[in-house]
């Protein structure tokens, strides 16, 4: 079988569990390209999930046994304590996370040779025997309700019913065989510009020193309307410290719901083109690059805007999960992959607010999602300790590349090697930079598992000499070790520089000036002592 068609068959017992967990298993089928079938004697299968572990099958395939007898839900939150062992997923190793649905009392997970992966109240709730690839869990998977996404069962306070099953499926399908980029992360601050060497409570020189000392990267999401000027002091800091400071795009004029107010596609496209023209002129004038990843003002962005951004050359948009356009029947995997790459629009990179649960960062690291953590200048009004604590958490989850959003976007893909000179690429980027494995002469492109309208997907593959249009699951000849640019093709792509120029709206200029003036005045009006906060 080819790399594309090699689907694992996972038997389920009792057979009634296939029907009682139909929505959940259907979502996992899409996420892992496995087939769940009722366990029947004489049938071939690659793994087994037993929802009734009291009846233990004598088989030699990887097995997940679900123990539920004698357990009941707790009256409140519990803490899941993960072990430090080599079989504990790296993101969870040695950590303690809050969980709402854990059982009370000891659960007898009887194999003394197994490694205890997690406990609750010192009682084992998840084990693995590496010799037999037998997993046991005390917390049963829960069926998805109507309109519920898979990600809704994998969130702070509610993740442990799904984690053992997901980790088991990763083992079964050879998830470790994929070459994935190392963990990538970036802090993003909405609104700052380079009109001075500070913006509100953020002082760029001190921020760059702190980032270098602690180990992180911070991107300022700049409104294109502000790109008319960069003060010499500010631009020098960003040029000299580009390893820890960068810029990205924040809206167009930053007026209310400008990316989500039902404008005609043509008018929205011209407005987005105006934003890119301002950014391009800024880059040319001041020699400071700006990532083409849109930070939508107030977190609002329509699907029409996503489509128009792809047409004129944006690399992506970063929004907070969950997304308001969700239709769980079609988007059951939304929020599950490294980006939500619905065919027809730019990929959506999930982001997370500084003040929200740090458990969410751990879960995103496990899902191999980029860790984009955002805030505003007021979120660091009192101290930079929040940045330091969050950076320490992220750096403790594994080897981390802190980088600008452009780099995160273009590395959002994974490759699986084959033994016959063929490799599979699954891209979550509008524009990916890909290095072909040294032993690959052919490449197959797969759409993201959660993408809609897969039949319409097309990629433009450029190797520096030629550009080919590639359809899903079709092989393309490549040179071993070659560097490729793989772009998601857009129907009706246009050159933004050729679109009509939009006239500046006086209200937009006045509003932006008032907001910037307010932000810059806040440190002077605040009771916070800036010398104490910034250490000097």
Sign of CA dihedral 278, 279, 281, 286: positive
- Burial tier of 75 (Cβ tally within 10 Å: 0-12, 13-18, 19+): exposed
Cis peptide before 14 (omega within 30 of 0): yes
The answer to whether the CB of 316 falls within 8 A of the CB of 429 is yes
Specify the pLDDT at position 3: 43
Quote the pLDDT of residue 498. 86
pLDDT score, position 419: 73
CA dihedral 26, 31, 34, 36 (to 10 degrees): -20
Angle of helix 232-240 versus helix 204-214 axis, rounded to 10: 10
Strand order of the β-sheet with 431-435 is 431-435, 483-488, 459-462, 467-470
**Rounded-to-integer distance, Cα 421 and Cα 439, Å:** 6
* 226, 193 contact by CB (below 8 A): yes
- Cα gap 128→77, rounded to integer Å: 25
d(CA 221, CA 251): 9
pTM for this prediction: 0.93
Span between the terminal Cα atoms of the chain, in Å? 65
Domain ranges of the chain: 8-176, 183-324+333-409, 413-488
Distance between CA 447 and CA 429 in Å, rounded? 10
DSSP-H helix ranges across 246-302? 265-286
Distance CA(261)–CA(252), nearest Å, equals 13
Give the separation between CA 125 and CA 375, rounded to whole angstroms. Answer: 36
> Which pLDDT value is given to residue 450?
58
Instruction: Give the torsion sign (CA, 284, 287, 291, 297).
Output: negative
3-state secondary structure of 66: strand
Q: Could you tell me which CATH number the domain at 8-176 has?
A: 3.40.50.880
CATH number of 183-324+333-409: 3.20.20.370
Measured in residues, the chain has a length of 536
Q: Using H for helix, E for strand and C for coil, what is the string for 385-436?
A: HHHHHHHHHHHCCCCEEECCHHHHHHCCEEEEECCCCEEEEEECCCEEEEEC
Q: How far is CA 439 from CA 95, 176, 350, 466, 478, in A?
A: 38, 18, 33, 21, 11
- Tell me the three state secondary structure of residue 108: coil
pLDDT values of the chain reduced to their tens digit, one per residue, 536 residues: 344 456 899 999 999 999 999 999 999 998 988 999 998 877 889 999 998 766 556 678 899 998 875 445 555 678 999 999 999 999 999 999 999 866 654 555 556 778 999 998 888 889 998 888 889 998 889 999 988 899 999 999 999 999 999 999 999 988 878 899 899 999 999 999 999 999 999 999 999 999 999 999 999 999 999 999 999 999 999 999 999 999 999 999 988 788 988 788 999 999 999 999 999 999 999 999 999 999 999 888 888 999 999 999 999 999 998 776 555 556 888 899 999 876 678 999 999 999 999 999 999 999 999 999 999 999 999 889 999 999 999 999 999 999 999 999 999 999 998 778 899 999 999 999 999 999 999 999 888 765 655 556 788 899 877 888 888 778 889 999 999 999 988 877 888 888 888 777 778 888 999 999 999 999 888 765 554 444 43
CB neighbours of residue 10 within 10 Å: 26
CA distance 198 to 70: 60
DSSP single-letter state for residue 332: T
Helix pair angle (163-173, 22-32), 10° resolution: 40
Q: Are 429 and 486 in contact (CB under 8 A)?
A: yes
Indicate the SS3 state at residue 343: coil
Angle at 316 between CA 310 and CA 322, to 5 degrees: 115
CA atoms within 13 A on the CB side of 495: 2
Pick from 244, 221, 211: nearest CA to 392: 211
pLDDT on residue 534: 44
- Give how far the C-alpha of residue 416 lies from the chain's centroid of Cα atoms, to the nearest Å: 19
By CB atoms closer than 10 A (0-12, 13-18, 19+), residue 469 is exposed
Gap between the Cα atoms of 278 and 494, Å rounded: 17
State how far the alpha carbon of 20 is from the alpha carbons of 24, 54, 57, 183, 504, in Å: 9, 19, 21, 36, 58
Number of CB atoms found within 10 A of residue 116's CB: 19
Strand spans (E) along 312-365: 316-320, 348-353
A 10 A CB-CB count for 338 gives: 26
Predicted pLDDT of residue 506? 79
Instruction: For residues 293 and 314, give the distance between their C-alpha atoms in angstroms, rounded to a whole number.
Output: 6
């Amino acid at each position: 079988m080819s790399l594309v068609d090699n689907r694992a068959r996972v038997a389920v017992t009792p057979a009634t569990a296939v029907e009682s967990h139909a929505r959940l298993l259907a979502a996992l089928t899409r996420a892992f390209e496995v087939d769940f079938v009722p366990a029947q004697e004489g049938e071939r299968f690659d793994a087994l999930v037993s929802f009734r572990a009291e009846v233990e099958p004598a088989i030699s395939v990887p097995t997940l046994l679900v123990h539920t007898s004698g357990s009941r839900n707790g009256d409140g939150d519990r803490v899941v304590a993960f072990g430090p062992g080599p079989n504990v997923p790296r993101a969870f190793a040695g950590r303690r996370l809050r969980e709402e649905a854990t059982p009370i009392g000891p659960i007898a997970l009887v194999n003394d040779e197994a490694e205890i992966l997690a406990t609750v109240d010192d009682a084992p709730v998840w084990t693995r025997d590496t010799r037999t690839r037998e997993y046991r869990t005390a917390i049963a998977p829960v069926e998805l309700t109507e309109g519920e996404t898979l990600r809704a069962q994998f969130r702070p306070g509610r993740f442990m019913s799904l984690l053992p099953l997901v980790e088991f499926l990763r083992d079964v399908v050879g998830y470790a065989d994929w070459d994935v980029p190392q963990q990538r992360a970036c802090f993003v601050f909405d609104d700052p510009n380079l009109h001075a060497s500070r913006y509100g409570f953020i002082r760029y020189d001190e921020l760059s020193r702190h980032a270098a000392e602690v180990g992180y990267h911070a991107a300022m999401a700049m409104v294109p309307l502000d790109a008319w000027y960069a003060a010499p002091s500010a631009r020098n800091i960003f040029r000299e410290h580009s390893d820890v400071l960068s810029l990205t795009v924040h809206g167009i004029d930053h007026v209310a719901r400008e990316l989500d107010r039902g404008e005609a596609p043509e008018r929205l496209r011209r407005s987005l083109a105006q934003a890119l023209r301002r950014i391009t002129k800024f880059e040319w004038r001041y020699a400071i690059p700006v990532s083409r990843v849109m930070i939508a003002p107030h977190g609002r962005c329509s699907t029409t805007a996503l489509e128009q951004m792809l047409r004129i050359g944006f690399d992506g948009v970063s929004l907070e999960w969950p997304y308001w356009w969700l239709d769980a029947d079609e988007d059951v995997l939304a929020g599950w992959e490294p980006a939500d790459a619905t065919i027809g629009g730019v990929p959506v990179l999930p982001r997370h607010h500084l003040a929200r649960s740090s458990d969410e960062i751990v879960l995103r690291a496990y899902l191999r999602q980029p860790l984009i953590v955002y805030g505003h200048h007021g979120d660091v009004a009192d101290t930079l300790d929040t940045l330091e604590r969050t950076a320490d958490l992220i750096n403790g989850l594994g080897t981390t590349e802190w980088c600008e959003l452009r780099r995160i976007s273009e590395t959002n893909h994974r490759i699986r090697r084959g033994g016959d000179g063929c490799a599979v690429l699954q891209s979550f980027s509008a524009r990916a930079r890909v290095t072909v494995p040294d032993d690959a002469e052919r490449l197959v492109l797969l759409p993201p598992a959660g993408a809609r309208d897969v039949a319409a997907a097309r990629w433009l593959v450029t190797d520096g000499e030629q550009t080919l249009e590639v359809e899903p699951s079709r092989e393309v000849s490549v040179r071993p070790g070659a560097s490729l640019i793989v772009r998601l093709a857009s129907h009706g792509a246009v050159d933004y520089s050729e679109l009509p120029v939009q006239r500046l709206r006086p209200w937009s200029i006045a509003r932006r000036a008032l907001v910037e003036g307010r932000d810059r005045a806040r440190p002077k009006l605040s009771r916070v002592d800036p010398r104490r906060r910034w250490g000097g």
